Structure 1
């Protein structure tokens, strides 16, 4: 049934109560940030930190131009609402709603690449940020940009032409990294002003990773591209970051609940848990919003925070996803409520992960463990085991295999991590059989899982694209994974 309420917009803003509407007037903001990847996570995380920084300082330079990636859907949701949208925060037994106004313009590069390029090139823009997921960067197994990818190749060709001079036609961008480099090229040619690129995706040392991709894509465009790369090295900073907030998919029930609280129709609504964390390396080429006043941590070294989060939170998330899916649990909340799986999760954190970590100042690892498990138990996050389980070949090296490598180097065999890898192996085999495997390496994985069941663990561990030699070469670890696969192939997860 269609909601007949008035649509959220500037016209409706003044009628909202003070607790709902932005603490600043969004109509007075200029664009200072271009964000690539305008999904729910950015709108529930970095845009909210920016919103709170605006409220704390009154600095009007930090409106956001947000670019979508795969479709124009988000533009169609937000443009009629003047970029306004609500954030519905759902705790276990608590609910709140606020309207965010930091997003000032929206664009779909498939039709509006020129507007995004102009935004990146504008001297009033000081930051480009990204949330495009790990696989959105179109990398090869070695981490280099996949220049054979048709989308990357098309953007490199467009970049090469644009570096030669105005073409009269702006080719639609096909990839986030191509869009970014083309925008940097235009900025280099127009004003040459310094810029900061802030990656907010879950990748190890994400700033350095994006920097390397940018330089490689630029260099692929020929001699002028190599000159562009030289300018990037001098004028552009790529601080590392760590981001954390669970942002479930927005459901019709969420929309109805928000409409009741707001009294308006909001097609751009996003949902988030109460917890939100952002750690940013304090390495900027120019000015930035006062995100620190909004609760972000600005630090000289993000790595200890990043490692703790990737290994404790993300590694445990994946472990619960694979074990939970095999046990028939639909959501992560159901999985962590299973005493046997909760026991494995605790063993992973306490016995395997924490011994590999050095806690940064102010972070109590045991308290962080409890907060993570409590957050997973919140039924309102809505994360399904299947959703978290997707793209395992990309996630496991980042979330689990670093822990495995470090424990093996210390002379220990990480048994809970081995159980997680075993669960992934059995999950991949079953998903490959029923056609539901969702992974960038799906064809390779399907080939690897075909064969005798008792060889499944070894065939997957032999995949060098996923498992480093230090892991694949450990007979003790292989034995643990084989044992875990045998147990899981027989049925339910055994209690520890």
Structure 2
């Protein structure tokens, strides 16, 4: 089998570098670079990506062995039908490890055609590190590395107004662009950089808040040999991903014009405020996961797909989404319904095995952030309480009892949370258990027993779930 490189693929590289990308992991390669590759094909973007390895150890040597080439395989369901698609990604021109050559790294900032900095250095990546004392040697932190690069660029072009860059971080933290800018400015102060540089950062560079959404399982190690045979290349950097993609970027029109995704039919949205989209994702996608887990698990189901395709659990989660979550959100109804239908399809993806227990980590705090806001907003708008979302809360309290039908549940939460539930369930009486849990303000940031009717609904659901389980056990004897 032939190796994958630009000679064997007959793909000479001619595009100039417009994007520096901090991070060579599966997500950026299966999401951002996939998008940029389509931009090159369908618009006049005509730019390449140079990848910077943010940590000392990584895979840039493998990328360079393949001349930046690799395949993205999309597997999932679209419009109700299974779909599979493969794409050879050719937009990556080079990859560099700055730990090997700091000077070569800084020289990347001298490129006059550079426009974008994109990153995904994990949620912990955007952080100030006092240990980065100066720029004489490569800073350890990502914002430190970025500040050094930006200062080198500032000096190289004498602070030219048109040489500022657009920073588009993809780290999964709220207001990631603002956080990155704040940390860069913190380094500028820490290193006593000139006020003119700080002014240039503030006035001539753009830091965009973003929201990214695509499941990227990554390298398909279980069947890579078969995949390579089908591709016809020895590609050791294959990335698997779902078809769904969404990139919401809070940015001025100048960034949108420079990144013409609207001309490529991509789900990249440039908005003035991404808050409604973040809320939509947290409430519908993440909220549905958290709602589904305890309900489906107590029914004996173990994966998301299995649960969504189960007549009872599937009906429950669809009704919870469309009747109790969607009506509490601000975006246009058609847009919300389109997103909700896409979520159901993603849950049904036959190519991804998503274990319920992998989502169950820290379910109490997840319910507070992902589901409780929908409960409260539903109550505010309708003057009633959402039955299914409260049924999920009842199932969650039962789930945290730590056993069901005589079998232990491998709970995964902090020791104080687990100990709290152990003490609460020792009371025995369902109403007491419910009141103890719902009145715990450290869980919910408020006393939920103060909402009229809520404790009674939760207690009733717990009792019904227990009675149903007893009946099933009786019938099986």
Q: Taking structure 2 as the reference length, what is the TM-score of the superposition?
A: 0.76
Unpaired stretches in structure 2, ≥5 consecutive residues: 428-432, 473-477
Cα distance between partner residues in 1 of 2:371 and 2:24: 28
Cα distance between partner residues in 2 of 1:121 and 1:435: 57
Bigger Rg, which one: 2
Cα distance between partner residues in 1 of 2:368 and 2:102: 33
**Counterparts in 2 of 1:181 and 1:321: CA distance versus 1, 3 Å:** farther
In structure 2, what is the equivalent of residue 136 of structure 1? 124
In structure 1, what is the equivalent of residue 237 of structure 2? 268
How many angstroms does 1:333 deviate by? 0.9
Q: Is the CA contact 2:61–2:95 (under 8 Å) kept in the aligned structure 1?
A: no
**Counterparts in 2 of 1:345 and 1:171: CA distance versus 1, 3 Å:** same
Q: Alpha carbon RMSD of aligned pairs, Å? A: 4.2
In structure 1, what is the equivalent of residue 220 of structure 2? 251
In structure 2, what is the equivalent of residue 127 of structure 1? 116
In structure 1, what is the equivalent of residue 444 of structure 2? 467
Matched ranges for 1:174-323 at <5 A:
176-177=142-143, 179-181=145-147, 183-184=149-150, 186-188=152-154, 190-191=156-157, 192=159, 193-201=163-171, 206=174, 208-212=175-179, 214-215=181-182, 218-219=185-186, 222=190, 224=192, 231-283=200-252, 288-294=258-264, 295=266, 296-323=268-295
Whether 2:308 is the aligned partner of 1:348: answer: no
Cα distance between partner residues in 1 of 2:471 and 2:41: 52
Question: Which of residues 7, 11, 18 in structure 2 aligns to 1:11?
Answer: 7
**Counterparts in 2 of 1:108 and 1:426: CA distance versus 1, 3 Å:** farther
**Counterparts in 2 of 1:156 and 1:298: CA distance versus 1, 3 Å:** same
Whether 2:24 is the aligned partner of 1:55: answer: no
Per-residue deviation, residues 62-109 of structure 1 (Å, max 9, x unmatched)? 42425456x845435433222211111223544332211122333567
SS at 1:413's partner residue? coil
How many angstroms does 1:51 deviate by? 0.5
Cα distance between partner residues in 1 of 2:177 and 2:86: 34
Q: Is the CA contact 2:54–2:121 (under 8 Å) kept in the aligned structure 1?
A: no
SS at 2:423's partner residue? coil
Whether 2:18 is the aligned partner of 1:29: answer: no
Q: Is the CA contact 2:96–2:105 (under 8 Å) kept in the aligned structure 1?
A: yes
Question: Which of residues 140, 164, 176 in structure 2 aligns to 1:172?
Answer: 140
Moved more, 236-245 or 481-490: 481-490
**Counterparts in 2 of 1:121 and 1:403: CA distance versus 1, 3 Å:** farther
Cα distance between partner residues in 2 of 1:491 and 1:37: 50
How many angstroms does 1:417 deviate by? 2.9
SS at 2:313's partner residue? helix
Cα distance between partner residues in 2 of 1:26 and 1:491: 66
How many angstroms does 1:482 deviate by? 5.7
Whether 2:79 is the aligned partner of 1:98: answer: no
Count residues in correspondence.
449
Cα distance between partner residues in 2 of 1:212 and 1:260: 44
